[in-house]
Amino acid sequence: MEEIGHALLKCGRPFLWVFMEVQDAWGDSELVLATRGSETPFCWLFLTHCGWSSTLESIESKILIVVCPLWNDQVVTQNSFKIFGRMVLELMRFFVERDKFNRCITIVMRYYEEEKELRRSFNKLSDLDKEAMKENGTSSVNLKAFANEILLGHNEY
pLDDT in single tens digits along all 157 residues of the chain: 777 778 778 877 777 776 655 455 445 444 443 444 333 345 667 777 777 777 777 777 776 777 777 677 777 776 666 544 444 455 444 456 778 777 777 777 777 666 677 677 777 877 888 888 888 988 888 888 888 888 887 665 5
- pTM for the model stands at 0.48
Count of domains in the chain? 1
In contact, 67 and 91? CB cutoff 8 Å: yes
Give the CATH number, domain containing residue 81: 3.40.50.2000
Domain-embedded: residue 77: yes
The Cα 79–Cα 46 span in angstroms is: 17
Domain-embedded: residue 100: yes
The Cα 90–Cα 102 span in angstroms is: 13
Give the structural domain span for 23: 2-129
